[in-house]
Protein backbone atom coordinates (compact mmCIF):
# COMPACT_ATOMS: atom_id res chain seq x y z
CA UNK A 1 0.00 0.00 0.00
CA UNK A 2 1.59 3.22 -1.16
CA UNK A 3 -0.71 5.53 0.80
CA UNK A 4 -0.30 7.26 4.14
CA UNK A 5 -0.46 4.62 6.82
CA UNK A 6 -1.79 5.38 10.26
CA UNK A 7 -2.03 3.09 13.25
CA UNK A 8 -3.76 2.22 15.33
CA UNK A 9 -7.04 2.93 13.55
CA UNK A 10 -8.89 2.84 16.85
CA UNK A 11 -7.49 3.43 20.29
CA UNK A 12 -9.27 3.41 23.63
CA UNK A 13 -7.63 4.94 26.66
CA UNK A 14 -8.72 5.74 30.17
CA UNK A 15 -8.27 9.23 31.56
CA UNK A 16 -4.69 9.81 32.59
CA UNK A 17 -3.15 7.25 30.25
CA UNK A 18 -0.91 8.01 27.30
CA UNK A 19 -1.87 7.73 23.64
CA UNK A 20 0.64 7.24 20.85
CA UNK A 21 -0.45 7.58 17.26
CA UNK A 22 1.84 6.62 14.41
CA UNK A 23 2.01 7.80 10.83
CA UNK A 24 4.11 6.57 7.92
CA UNK A 25 4.01 9.04 5.02
CA UNK A 26 3.70 8.09 1.39
CA UNK A 27 6.88 6.88 -0.21
CA UNK A 28 8.99 9.82 -1.28
CA UNK A 29 7.19 12.29 0.99
CA UNK A 30 9.27 14.03 3.61
CA UNK A 31 6.64 16.39 5.02
CA UNK A 32 4.11 15.25 7.61
CA UNK A 33 1.12 17.10 9.03
CA UNK A 34 -1.19 16.20 11.90
CA UNK A 35 -4.78 17.38 12.01
CA UNK A 36 -7.50 16.77 14.57
CA UNK A 37 -11.18 16.39 13.74
CA UNK A 38 -13.64 16.82 16.56
CA UNK A 39 -17.33 15.90 16.15
CA UNK A 40 -19.25 18.64 14.32
CA UNK A 41 -16.03 20.52 13.65
CA UNK A 42 -13.70 20.73 10.72
CA UNK A 43 -10.16 19.53 10.57
CA UNK A 44 -7.86 21.61 12.75
CA UNK A 45 -4.17 21.91 12.00
CA UNK A 46 -1.92 20.75 14.80
CA UNK A 47 1.67 20.45 13.62
CA UNK A 48 3.87 20.27 10.53
CA UNK A 49 7.10 18.30 10.60
CA UNK A 50 9.95 17.39 8.36
CA UNK A 51 12.47 14.72 9.20
CA UNK A 52 13.93 15.54 12.64
CA UNK A 53 12.42 19.05 12.58
CA UNK A 54 9.23 20.65 13.79
CA UNK A 55 8.42 23.38 11.27
CA UNK A 56 5.13 24.73 12.60
CA UNK A 57 3.46 23.64 15.84
CA UNK A 58 1.11 26.59 16.16
CA UNK A 59 -1.93 24.31 16.43
CA UNK A 60 -0.61 22.07 19.15
CA UNK A 61 -2.03 22.45 22.65
CA UNK A 62 0.63 23.84 24.95
CA UNK A 63 0.58 20.92 27.34
CA UNK A 64 0.42 17.12 27.07
CA UNK A 65 0.80 17.00 23.28
CA UNK A 66 4.03 16.38 21.41
CA UNK A 67 5.04 15.23 17.96
CA UNK A 68 8.16 13.93 16.35
CA UNK A 69 9.33 12.68 12.97
CA UNK A 70 12.62 10.89 13.49
CA UNK A 71 15.21 10.22 10.84
CA UNK A 72 14.10 6.60 10.77
CA UNK A 73 10.60 5.35 11.40
CA UNK A 74 7.15 6.86 11.48
CA UNK A 75 5.98 10.18 12.81
CA UNK A 76 4.53 9.92 16.31
CA UNK A 77 1.83 12.08 17.90
CA UNK A 78 1.94 11.61 21.63
CA UNK A 79 -0.77 12.66 24.06
CA UNK A 80 0.06 12.36 27.72
CA UNK A 81 -2.49 12.13 30.53
CA UNK A 82 -5.43 12.00 28.16
CA UNK A 83 -8.73 13.64 29.05
CA UNK A 84 -12.19 13.07 27.60
CA UNK A 85 -11.87 16.19 25.47
CA UNK A 86 -9.01 14.54 23.56
CA UNK A 87 -11.47 12.07 22.03
CA UNK A 88 -11.32 12.79 18.31
CA UNK A 89 -10.13 11.52 14.97
CA UNK A 90 -6.47 12.35 14.38
CA UNK A 91 -5.43 12.51 10.74
CA UNK A 92 -1.94 12.46 9.38
CA UNK A 93 -1.15 13.83 5.96
CA UNK A 94 1.99 13.96 3.88
CA UNK A 95 3.29 15.80 0.86
CA UNK A 96 6.42 15.95 -1.23
CA UNK A 97 8.47 19.08 -0.59
CA UNK A 98 7.74 21.06 -3.74
CA UNK A 99 3.97 20.67 -3.64
CA UNK A 100 3.69 21.49 0.02
CA UNK A 101 3.76 25.23 -0.25
CA UNK A 102 2.00 25.76 -3.52
CA UNK A 103 -1.17 23.82 -4.01
CA UNK A 104 -2.43 22.68 -0.64
CA UNK A 105 -2.43 19.11 -1.87
CA UNK A 106 -2.05 16.86 1.09
CA UNK A 107 -2.44 13.10 1.05
CA UNK A 108 -4.34 11.99 4.12
CA UNK A 109 -4.35 8.72 5.96
CA UNK A 110 -7.56 7.13 7.17
CA UNK A 111 -7.15 8.51 10.66
CA UNK A 112 -6.75 7.21 14.17
CA UNK A 113 -9.86 7.44 16.30
CA UNK A 114 -9.09 8.02 19.94
CA UNK A 115 -11.73 7.39 22.56
CA UNK A 116 -11.02 8.43 26.13
CA UNK A 117 -13.17 6.75 28.76
Partner 1 sequence: QKEVEQDPGPLSVPEGAIVSLNCTYSNSAFQYFMWYRQYSRKGPELLMYTYSSGNKEDGRFTAQVDKSSKYISLFIRDSQPSDSATYLCAMNYGGATNKLIFGTGTLLAVQP
Q: Which residues bind partner 1 (CB under 8 A)?
A: 4, 31, 33, 35, 40-45, 48, 55-56, 58-59, 91, 93, 95, 100-111
Nearer to partner 1, 62 or 98 (CB): 98
Beta bridge partners of 89: 37, 113
Compute the distance between CA of residue 39 and CA of residue 17 in angstroms, rounded to an integer.
Answer: 22
Nearer to partner 1, 82 or 112 (CB): 112
Beta bridge partners of 19: 79
What's the min distance (Å) between Cβ of 16 and partner 1? Answer: 28
Compute the distance between CA of residue 97 and CA of residue 99 in angstroms, rounded to an integer.
Answer: 6
Compute the distance between CA of residue 116 and CA of residue 100 in angstroms, rounded to an integer.
Answer: 33
What's the min distance (Å) between Cβ of 38 and partner 1? Answer: 10
Q: Are 67 and 100 in contact (CB under 8 A)?
A: no
What's the min distance (Å) between Cβ of 45 and partner 1? Answer: 5
Nearer to partner 1, 28 or 104 (CB): 104
What's the min distance (Å) between Cβ of 90 and partner 1? Answer: 11
Amino acid sequence: NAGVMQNPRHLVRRRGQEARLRCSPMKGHSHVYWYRQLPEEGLKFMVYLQKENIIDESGMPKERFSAEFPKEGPSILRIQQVVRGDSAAYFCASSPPRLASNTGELFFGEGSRLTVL
